[in-house]
Structure 1
Amino acid sequence: MKKLILAGLSSVVVLMGALAGCNFSQEDETTTVELAEVTRSIFYAPLYVAMEQGFFEEENLNIELTTTWGGDKTMTSLLSDGADVALVGAETSIYVNAQEPADPIINFAMLTQTDGTFLMAKEETDSFSWDDLKGTTFLGQRKGGMPQMTGEYVLKQNNIDPAEDLNLIQNIDFANIASAYSSGTGEYVQLFEPQATLFEQEGLGQIVASFGEESGALPYTVFMAKEGFVHGDDDVAERFTRAIYKAQQWVYEASPEEIASTIAPYFDDTPEDVIADSAVRYRDQESYAKTPVLPEKAWDNLQNIMEEAGELPEPSDYDQFVDTELAEKVMEE
């Protein structure tokens, strides 16, 4: 009997050792994170840097990146568990949380902190004034989206009534705005990089103003996830945030050529000199957030712009829907 008991105990010890070994190996296992980005843009350079420089790998994370082309599709992917994390404008979380989902959407790491569009004029000028837009045709962004809301907010801040002072076109799909402009529609257009720089190089217009500089700090593009993911028992969201913070620091220290060569695989059809120029333009105006922390002042500015545009469903509580603990923790390390 004693031998049976000892044998049983030995089996238990062996089993416990095996389980302990499994737990230890799981800590070192790579966790896959499904990430949905709203579009592919040089505006998101720090994300691609984190992937190419191995910052996610250092955190034992494997990022499976999908471009979902549109805020509605991105949020649908997140809500239906097609993605663990979404990279999209913070306004989309406000729209969703206003519907009181069972698992709220939490903004946990900011990637860009200004609008990313530029005003391009078809005619070159040495002395641009916002008054120059009055009486012209302005090719803006899709109604209800953050670029359009910010664009109209900036126009109003410069004493231009979008409804009265110009011919505002907003019925062209995002993917077709650049081609519509190059085909002759509008004297002015609101464009992201690298399209603005490409058009300038091709002699199709001149960048005369930055909506990012004019609108102030905004949580323009944010990593967000369901509350269960952000506040779960594991530390995946924390490790994700740490990798992003490393990339944010890298982008502000690297040369334009280093940035361009690093993220070039994500932009096959764009010359590296254009990638470099576009990235530096964003960096110089500090569009890339320097830390993942989403400040309350920027959150309030976002809601003010949405309210001005008539698109704010209801005030969204910063303390409830923004998590800064993870970002603050990785910055203190």
Structure 2
Amino acid sequence: MVYSIKRSMFLLIALFITTATFLSGCNFGESEDEIELAEVTRSVFYAPQYVAISEGFFEDEGLDVELTTTWGGDNTMTTLLSDGADIALVGAETSIYVYGQEAVDPAINFAQLTETDGTFLVGREEHENFEWGDLEGASFLGQREGGMPQMVGEYVLREHGIDPHEDLDLNQGVDFENIPSAFASGDEDYVQLFEPQATQFEEEEIGHVLGSFGTESGNVPYTVYMSKQSFLEENDEQIEKFTRAIHRAQQWVHEQSAEEVAESIQEFFDETDKDTIAQSVERYRDQGSYAESPLLDEDGWYLLQEIMEDAGELPEHVEYDTLVETDFAERVE
């Protein structure tokens, strides 16, 4: 299949596959109990991860987890490949991109955190009887080409008979972390937003949540934990402990009230009101975004590739067993 090499993602991946191969398997933590964790963005979408930190679940496993936000799939994968992180929380599609570049030490998915898309359709105007077909001819502030938000967005729109590149005035020229502010100060009709930005925009009357891309697209391993194959092989005990702590946090998030979850994770969202966080948690939990198990589903893996292929971004089909390691999740369940 012919596909386009997108933006900086493939250039950075190719560079670090070439220059960092000799570093494969190196653990730059100061002790065996330290984990350097890179997250692709900061979002209530990742509530179980923050719970694992704030409630001491990592600590209970003897792990010292240092969290860094690396803003965007390309930056996050580059950080992982160059040994700037031991584990990355990022879209599973990035592991397929790396594999497509014939990586000597590929990124292996070992636990999922979320199992739906985490973005919501936000419109500048309120629509009492909104239908997806209303987007035709409108201006849309899109996400980065080749990233999961954009690919899932395109998949959903096509399912509703809209060609995002033909039927929309699509703007993809804004960096991932600047999309909310660009919409707030711009004049596009629609945008895809994660929480808590979507709820905040409603509260500030900047926009209105009209639909959920997660509900429309179904279950997919949207955000997962991955490490280089060499790190998994050499740090079996650490990865099991990490996965156990995440599983415990997943259960905790589903058992507690949204208010209690918000209380637990508010330290990660200094500028967000606790009630807004609670509403965001409730919205994600109601639509099944928070995975209840770290075990990455095989059907979801192939739906992911269907979505990528639909967007013209799938370099090659990759079997489930090639890039998914289920052993750690199965041990802790």
TM-score w.r.t. structure 1 length? Answer: 0.88
Letter in 2 for 1:221: T
| 1:64 paired to 2:94 | no
Partner residue in 1 for 2:34: 32
Tell me the distance in 2 between the aligned counterparts of 1:30 and 1:321. Answer: 25
- Deviation sequence 1:120-152 (CA, Å, 0-9, x none): 121112211111111211112122211011101
Alignment-derived partner of residue 113 in structure 1: 115
The residue type equivalent to 2:92 in the other structure is A
Give the aligned partner of residue 236 of structure 1. Answer: 238
The answer to whether structure 1 residue 274 and structure 2 residue 264 are counterparts is no
Give the match for residue 103 of structure 1: 105
Name the structure 1 match of 2:144: 142
Q: Are positions 1:258 and 2:260 aligned together?
A: yes
Of 266, 290, 293, the residue aligned with 1:291 is 293
| CA deviation after TM superposition for structure 1 residue 268, in Å | 0.5
Structure 2 distance, partners of 1:184, 1:266, is 27
Q: Distance in 2 between matches of 1:58 and 1:293?
A: 21
Extract unaligned runs of 5+ from structure 2.
1-30
The Cα offsets for residues 86-118 of structure 1, whole Å up to 9 and x where unpaired, read as 110001111111222222211000001111100
Give secondary structure in 1 for the equivalent of 2:276.
Answer: helix
Change beyond 3 A, Cα 1:30–1:232: closer
> Per-residue deviation at 1:39?
1.1
Tell me, what secondary structure is at the counterpart of 1:64?
strand
Aligned to 1:208: 210
Match of 2:55 in 1: 53
- Cα distance between partner residues in 2 of 1:233 and 1:246: 20
RMSD over aligned CA atoms reads 1.3
Mapped contact 1:181–1:189 kept (Cα < 8 A): yes
For residues 323 and 178 of structure 1, do their structure 2 counterparts lie closer, same or farther at Cα, with a shift above 3 Å needed? same
CA deviation after TM superposition for structure 1 residue 65, in Å: 0.9
Partner SS, residue 190 of structure 1 = strand
User: Percent identity at matched positions?
Assistant: 62
CA–CA distance in structure 2, aligned partners of residues 63 and 148 of structure 1? 30
> What's 1:17 paired with?
none
Between 81-90 and 233-242, the greater mean CA deviation after superposition? 233-242
The one-letter code of the counterpart of 2:61 is E
Larger Rg: 1
Post-superposition Cα deviations, 1:28-87, rounded to whole Å, max 9, x if no partner, equal x97001111111111111000001111111111110111111211211111111111011
Q: Distance in 1 between matches of 2:165 and 2:237?
A: 48
Structure 2 counterpart SS, 1:270: coil
SS of alignment partner, residue 150 of structure 1: helix
**Structure 1 gap ranges (5+):** 1-28
Aligned counterparts of 2:183 and 2:311: Cα–Cα separation in 1: 24
Q: What TM-score results when the alignment is normalised by the length of structure 2?
A: 0.88
AA matched with 1:237: I
Partner of 2:227: 225
Q: Render the CA deviation track for 1:280-326: whole Å, top value 9, x for unaligned.
A: 11111111111000011000011011111111111112111101111
The count of residues paired between Structure 1 and Structure 2 equals: 303
Whether the 8 Å CA contact 1:139–1:185 is kept in 2: the answer is: no
Q: CA deviation at 1:233?
A: 5.8
Secondary structure, counterpart of 2:77 in structure 1? helix
Q: Which amino acid aligns with 2:238?
A: V
Give the match for residue 307 of structure 1. Answer: 309
Letter in 2 for 1:137: S
Is this contact kept in 2: 1:31–1:62, CA < 8 A? yes
The aligned runs of 1:5-44 (5 Å cut-off) are 31-44=33-46
